[in-house]
Structures are given as C-alpha cells and as structure tokens.
Structure 1
Amino acid sequence: MKVSVCTLAHGRAGHLANLVEGLCSATRPPDELVIAVMQPQAYTLPDAPFNVRQIVLGGKDMPLAKARNTAARAANGELLVFLDVDCIPAPGLIEDYVTAARSLDGVMMGEVAYLPRGGTDAGLDYTRFERQGVRHSERPGPPENGPWRECEDYRCFWSLNFAMTAMAFAAVGGFDERFVGYGGEDTDFGRMVASQGHKLHWLSGAKAYHQYHPHHMPPVHHLDSVLANAMIFGDKWGEPTMQHWLRAFVLMGLLERDGDGWRKLREPDERDLALTRQQADQPYASSALVLEWLEENAKAA
C-alpha cells in the first residue's frame, strides 16, 4: 500500500524539520510527504529517503480546510496520513496505520502525547519522548483492550493525527472549504464522515509526539473565525458547535447571544490573552480549566 503523509505549514520551520526527521526514522517510511506551504516561500528541509513535495500556496490566511484538501488531492498514495506540522511521528506510526487499514475502513486516529517546553532541544529521542509525553486530559485515550475501538461521537474527530484511504477521503468530499481560518472544520468533517456511514476509530499506536509551542485555549486569538464557523456549521447541520468556546467568550464579555446566534461585543485584549495563554510549564492549553474558572467567577459575581 502506497502511503502519502500530508501536512500544512506556516512558519514553524523547526517543527517541520523534526517531522521530516521523524519520518526518516520510521520502521516503514512513507512513499512521499506532501506539504501545503501557507507562506510565500518553500522550506529548506533535511534530506529524506522519500519524495518531499512542497506546494506553495502563499498567504497564511488561507482556510486550514482548503490547505489540507490541497495536500490530499495532490497526494499519490492509496493511504493518506495527516499529521499537523507540530507532530513528530513515532517510528511505528506509518506501519501501525498500514496494518490498521487492512482491517478498517473510514477514519483512523492515532495516539498523541504532548511534550513539555524544551522537550526537543536535545534532538529526537523517542525514549525521552515516551517518558515526558502526556495525554491531553480533554481527549479520549487509546483503547484499553485491543488494537482499536470505534468512536461513536463524530465530535471526537481530531485532525492532528489521523489516516484514511484516498478513496474514502474523496468519497467524503474532503474538508468543507467554506470554513474560514480556525475552528469547527474538524467537527464538520467528523459529521460528514458519520453522515455517510463511515466509521471513526481510535487506534492503540500510530503515535505522534506534539512539540511544545505557546497557544491559547479557548482560542480567543481566533475569535472572528470561531464565530463565523459556528454560524456556518449551524446553517449546514441545523445545530450549533463549539459551544464550550462560545460560552467562554460570552463569560469573558466578548460575545452576547443574539437570537439563535451571537454578536461580537469587542476585540480581545491582553487580559483575555493572559487568561487563555498556555503557561510555560504546561504541555498543552486547557479550555476546560479556563471555562471552569470563568463559571466559578460568574457565580461569585
């Protein structure tokens, strides 16, 4: 089975170089790596024993959905493995996906472990990564028994590390390119997969290590796109999404309910960024902790 790894990148040159080096260490290397480059210039990357193709798309403001589709549609593989640019694949990731694809149809989602700040400073060391990496507390874990388990809630779909056949991806129609920027496109894709009768599966293995970078959760720095995409999802499916983020933004005084939707009240300021900013000692940012704090303060007010 021919395998194409697909990623998209804007900045993050060091992260992308580590992703390439990780694929070079694979027990079963991919046949190609396709990069949707969301900036005007291509990257200088490590040499690799597989074909690396960079598709320069230009500006960073291109929807993530369109960039992912561009990489997938340019790929030649029968199996498409999607990895975010900040992921380092474990040596067995490709092999695990190929093995699973012999038995499973639909979407396969591998494990993710979050590395602390400085986790890659000394280079790629999978023994250290395994010791330091932690699972995200707000994401389901791998199956406790067996190589995989079915995910029965489309909202659990996570594009950070997943795979599916090119045929299945084409049948679903790819990511909906009406979604702008960041937010909601994953949930919409999961909904499309489920609505067409395809299954979503969590795998034991196919592991990726998430490289540390500062982030905001809830993603207040993407307020406009989250709000726009919530409206698109609601119009498409007749029900809302990203409710926990929108609730947090209401409590922060950024939005208010307006009939069946929301109305923006103001731009985020430094207080909002400070509240949602991932701290240096955290391997990942947590929406749940911020929302819990906001709810408690709203009760006390």
Structure 2
Amino acid sequence: MSVSVCTLAFGREKHLCNLVRGLSLGSSFPDELVIAVLQEQAYDLPSAPFPVRQIAMGNAGLSLAEARNRAAGEATGDLLVFLDVDCIPGPDCVADYVRAAQSHDGVMMGEVAYLPSGATANGIDFRSFESVGVRHSERAGPPEGPSRECSDYRCFWSLNFALSAREFQIVGGFDERFRGYGGEDTDFGRTVASLGLPIWWLRGAKAFHQYHPHHMPPVHHLDSVLANAHVFMEKWGEPTMQHWLRAFVLMGLLERTPHGWRKLRDPSDADLALTRQQADQPYASSAIVLEQLEAAALS
C-alpha cells in the first residue's frame, strides 16, 4: 500500500520543517509528502528519505478546502494521510495508519497531543513530547481498543486523519464553496456520514501539535466563519459551528435573525484579548471562553 502524506502551508516554515523531520524519523516512511503551498515562494525544507513535492498555488489566500483537494489531487498514494502544517507526526503515525487501513473502511483519525510553548526548542524529541503533550479537553480521548467508531459526524477532525484515495474521490473531497477558515471539515464529515462511510477514532497514529498563538473561538476569522456557516445551512438545512456562533452573539459581534446570523461589528482588541491563547496554554479553548460569556450574560 503506497502512502501520500498531504498538507497545506502558508507561512509556518519552522512548523513545516518539523513535520518533515518527524516523518523522516518515523518507523515507516511515506512514499511522498505533498504540500499545497499557499504563498508565492516555495519553502526551504530539510532533506528527507522520501520525495517532497511542493505544489504552488500562489497567494490565493487561506482556502483550506481547495488546498487539501489540490494536495490530494496531486498525490499518487493508495492511502492519503492528512496532517496540518503545525503537526509533527509521531514515530509510528504512518505505520499505524497503514495497519489500520488494512481492516478499516472510511475515515480514520489518529491521536493528537498538544505541545506547550518551547517544547520543540531542542529539536524533535518524541520521549519529551510524550511527557509534556496533552490531549485537547474538547476532543475525545483514544479508544480503549485499537479503534472505536464515531457515531456523530461532528467528531470529524481534519488535523490528523487518513482515508484511501479511492474513498476521497467517492466523497468528492472538500467542498470548495467553503472559503477561508471554518466549517469545511464538518461539512466533509457530514458528507462522509451521508454516504454511509464510517468515521473511526484510532489508538495510535499520533501527531504532536506544535504551539502557536491562536484564538478560540476564532474571532480573527469572523467573516469566513459567518459566510461558511450560511453555506453549511443552505447545503444541509442545519447549522454548524454553533458554539462559536453562540460565543460571537454573546460578544456582540453577531445577531441571530430568522434568516441566519448577521454581523454587527468587527472584533475589538478586547475580543481578541478574551479569545487569545496565552503562552502558558498548550491550546486555546472555545469551551472556557463560552463558559465565561454565558456566566457574564446571567449575571
């Protein structure tokens, strides 16, 4: 079974270099790494024991759906492993996916551990990563056995997943009507479920998420989240990203109308401060911010 690892990149050169190094230290190498490059210049990457192909998309802006589709379309492997650019694949990530693909149809999602700031300062050290990496509190933990099927399409997580190239084509890839950030992964999961394909949590196939400042809920992507929420509603007749939208309403950024959500204003410095991931946090938490907003609304 041939394996293509697919990622997309805009900036984040250090993160991408660590992704390449992580794959190079794996117990099993992919047959190729395919990178959809969302900027004008190619990356200067470390050497690797497998082919690395950079697919130039120009400065087309942050279109996650289009970039993932482009990487998958250029890939030659039987199995497609998708990793976000800020992920360092663990030593058995590729091997675990290959093993699981021999007995699982559909989408497989590996484990993710979030690293604190400074964890990669001394290079790739998987033993250290295991000791300091933490599970995201808003995501399911690894199953007790080798795998567990997820019965809710909303559990799909595009950070670290794999499926066969054939099934990716059956699904139709990511819907490119979703532009920018937000909703395209939930839509992909909804399409997978509508086709009767299973979604699996795996024990193993682990990736380590590299620290970077972030906002949750993603107020810095307010406009694309709002636009994509309407695309999802028009397509499926039901809302998505409801926890983010609820937070934005409580922050006074949006209002709910009979026809969906309407933007009231741009995020302020206070909104950015409220949602900003702090240096002592390995990840940003929408749940914590929403809890604070709900409490304030009741006071």
Q: Normalising TM by the smaller chain, what interval?
A: over 0.9
For structure 1, the 5+ residue unaligned runs are none
**How far apart are the structure 2 equivalents of 1:130 and 1:110?**
15
SS of the residue corresponding to residue 137 of structure 1 reads coil
The equivalent residue for 1:24 is 24
**How far apart are the structure 2 equivalents of 1:155 and 1:61?**
26
**How far apart are the structure 2 equivalents of 1:275 and 1:91?**
36
The equivalent residue for 2:65 is 65
Identity %: 72
The equivalent residue for 2:288 is 289
The equivalent residue for 1:263 is 262
SS of the residue corresponding to residue 217 of structure 1 reads coil
**1:62 Cα offset (Å):** 4.2
SS of the residue corresponding to residue 271 of structure 2 reads helix
Q: Does structure 2 retain, via aligned residues, the 8 Å contact 1:256–1:262?
A: yes
How many aligned positions are there? 299
SS of the residue corresponding to residue 296 of structure 1 reads helix
SS of the residue corresponding to residue 297 of structure 1 reads helix
**How far apart are the structure 2 equivalents of 1:19 and 1:238?**
38
Say yes or no: does 1:183 pair with 2:150.
no
Amino acid in structure 2 at the alignment position of 1:197: G
**How far apart are the structure 2 equivalents of 1:289 and 1:60?**
33
SS of the residue corresponding to residue 158 of structure 1 reads coil
Say yes or no: does 1:80 pair with 2:84.
no
**1:297 Cα offset (Å):** 0.3
The equivalent residue for 1:192 is 191
Q: Does structure 1 retain, via aligned residues, the 8 Å contact 2:62–2:181?
A: no
* CA displacement, residues 125-166 of structure 1 (integer Å, 9 cap, x when unaligned): 00000000000000011102x100101100000000000000
Say yes or no: does 1:8 pair with 2:13.
no
The equivalent residue for 1:215 is 214
**1:260 Cα offset (Å):** 3.1
**1:95 Cα offset (Å):** 0.3
**How far apart are the structure 1 equivalents of 2:48 and 2:119?**
23
Runs of 4+ aligned residues of structure 1 deviating over 4 Å after TM superposition are: none
Q: Does structure 2 retain, via aligned residues, the 8 Å contact 1:10–1:60?
A: no
* CA displacement, residues 247-280 of structure 1 (integer Å, 9 cap, x when unaligned): 1000000011121301111010100000000000
Deviates more, 1:87-96 or 1:253-262: 253-262
* 1:142-161 paired onto structure 2 within 5 Å: 142-144=142-144, 146-161=145-160
The equivalent residue for 2:94 is 94
**How far apart are the structure 2 equivalents of 1:232 and 1:52?**
34
Q: TM-score, normalized by length of structure 2?
A: 0.99
Deviates more, 1:255-264 or 1:156-165: 255-264
The equivalent residue for 2:205 is 206
* CA displacement, residues 61-112 of structure 1 (integer Å, 9 cap, x when unaligned): 1411000000001000000000000000001000000000000000000000
Amino acid in structure 2 at the alignment position of 1:285: A
**How far apart are the structure 1 equivalents of 2:158 and 2:239?**
20
Q: Does structure 2 retain, via aligned residues, the 8 Å contact 1:18–1:88?
A: yes
